[in-house]
Every structure is written in structure tokens, then in C-alpha cells.
Amino acid sequence: MTLSTPSAAAVHTPKVLESLDPAIAAHVCNVFAATPFMNALGVRVMVVAPGRVETAMTVLPEHRQQHGLVHAGVMASLADHTAGACASTAAPGIDVLSIEFKVNMLAPAQHGELYCIAQTLRAGRRVSVIEADVFSIVPGTVATIADRVVRATVTLSVRARG
């Protein structure tokens, strides 16, 4: 598996696959835009598709812990919020809330970009399970599975919006 990310300076519009309801895609993007913590981290929505959401963020000095590595909370938050967005692609008019979160820190991240890919494992009427992988990569390069720093499994409660 390989992926590449644009440089942090690149201006982009999230890629939305045509098979996704435009209202769902708009909701995903709006949720990120309306979440102050995701904005403070600088998270960008890169891809929105049925059962898949990809996000990216540039690692900044304020994202580091005392040893100069990216704080585990930053990486876990990226995985959790991207997983929630992924779960919300299952149907129009739903909101989701994390109810269980299992995260494995596989390697430290130090610099560059964090790129998260969340994919649906099970989309249910009441509960969804999403897997989210976070990769640490240098902008403009091609990443491999060896660049994965986090694997998270997120269980989310699904409910009607409103």
C-alpha cells in the first residue's frame, strides 16, 4: 500500500467520490470545520467516500511532548475524529459518538505530516466499528505501511441527528 500527500502549503478541496451523497460529504467537512480542537491541530479533510475518510495535519512544535516526539494524544485525537467522520458516511442524518477506543502506538512520530485513513469495519444501525491508521510521512513523498505509527479501533454509537 502506498499513499502520497501534498505539501502542507498546498491548497486543496477534499476529494469526494461521486458515489457518496453530497449531503453526507458536506456534513463530514462541516463537522471538522465546526470542531475547535481539530482546527487548533490544523486537521484537513483529504478524502470522503462511503466507508472511508482520510485526513492530514502538519506536525508543529506545539504538537510535541517533552522528548520532541508527537504527543500520543495528538495522534489518538486524529484517529478518533477521523473514525467518527468515517462512521457518519454510512447514512444521511446520523450523528456518532465514540463509546470505545482502542489505540496501539506502533512507532513514534517526529516531523512532517500525519496522514490518517479510517475505514468502516461494520456499519450498524446502532453501533459502528471503524479502524483508523495514522502514518507519519514527509510531505510530497510516498509512504508505505512501515510509516504507520498508530492503529486504532473505534466503536461508535449511531443516532439520529438532532
3-state secondary structure of 75: helix
pLDDT at site 18:
67
Question: Do you know the residue count of the chain?
Answer: 162
CATH superfamily of the 3-160 domain? Hotdog Thioesterase (3.10.129.10)
- Per the DSSP assignment, residues forming a β-bridge with 54 are 47, 117
- Asked whether the beta carbons of 112 and 98 are under 8 A apart, the reply is no
Helices (H) and strands (E) in the chain, counts: 3, 9
Q: What is the pLDDT along the chain (162 residues), one digit of tens a residue?
A: 444 444 333 345 788 876 889 999 999 999 999 999 999 999 999 999 999 999 999 999 999 999 999 999 999 999 999 999 999 999 999 999 999 999 999 999 988 999 999 999 999 999 999 999 999 998 777 778 889 999 999 999 999 987
Domain boundaries, the chain: 3-160
Helices (H), 43-117: 72-87
- Which helix (H) or strand (E) segment is 145 a member of? none
87 alpha-carbon distance from chain centroid: 11
pLDDT at site 12:
55
Helices (H), 34-95: 36-41, 72-87
